[in-house]
Amino acid sequence: MNVAALKAENEELVRKNLIMYNNLGLLNIDKSNLEKEITNVSLQYKALLEKSDSLKLNDCVMVDSSVIQTPKLYADLFKISNNKMSEPLQEIMKVVTNNEEEKKKRENNLIVFGLEVNRNDKNFTNVKKLFNDIGLNENLVDRAYYLNSKNDQTPIKLKAYDSHSRNTILKAAKKLKQLNFTNKSKISIVQDLSYVDRQIHKDLVNKRNILNLNLKENDDHYFGIRNNNIARISKIKS
């Protein structure tokens, strides 16, 4: 295996490690054990890099015998015994996999917050009225459900027919700002996120709020959340 291939695989490892660390806060994992494993992997990578000049591009042929050794895959460096990953890495990979599956199930779901509703109203009359107020066709939604809530407000889950319908609803939801100002309400329509993504979004909101609190009155920008990242947004000059 040549140096370029080893370098590419090492960069992929770094990328995966970042994903793992982003999820560590949600797992009951001994971080020090993971750090030791990462250190061990790095040491093995350096050892491979030092030997790379003597390796052929594809195989390593043993001179003293007719046996041909195929170099280990870089993924094998994660394995500790019996061809298995260590428990921390297994748990992290499980969380990542489960989160992707949960996101897939929720991708066309939306949640309506702050709308006064009657749980006995099976026709979701207030939702239909809300859609009419912001210029939406109620046929964009396949199904609706009342969710349990710990407060007086009852969130409503909407299942859009497809991603186009979902995006149309989210785009129209921007009109709720003016509607809320007029009616002195706090209605919102947001995408239904997985548990992991909700925690990530919550963290982003906290960071955004702190950044905005530290702004000066004459600053020409503010901070918002765009595409799951903190973004610096220029103020519109009147």
One pLDDT digit (tens) per residue for the chain, 238 residues: 555 666 666 666 656 665 555 555 544 445 555 555 555 655 555 555 555 544 444 444 444 444 444 444 444 544 555 556 566 666 767 777 777 888 888 899 999 999 988 888 889 999 999 999 999 999 999 999 998 876 667 899 999 999 999 999 999 998 998 998 888 889 999 999 888 888 888 888 899 899 989 998 888 889 888 877 888 888 876 5
Query: What spatial distance separates the first Cα and last Cα of the chain, rounded to whole Å?
Result: 61
Which pTM does this prediction carry?
0.55
Instruction: Pull the structure tokens for residue 197.
Output: 């993504």
**Distance from chain centroid for Cα 139:** 29
Digit-coded pLDDT (tens) for 85-124: 566 666 767 777 777 888 888 899 999 999 988 888 889 9
Cα angle 208-210-212, degrees, rounded to a multiple of 5: 70
- Amino acid letter at 103? K
Domains of the chain: 3-102 (no CATH), 107-192 (3.30.70.330), 194-238 (no CATH)
CB 114 within 8 A of CB 185: yes
Cα 79 to Cα 89: distance, rounded to the nearest angstrom: 9
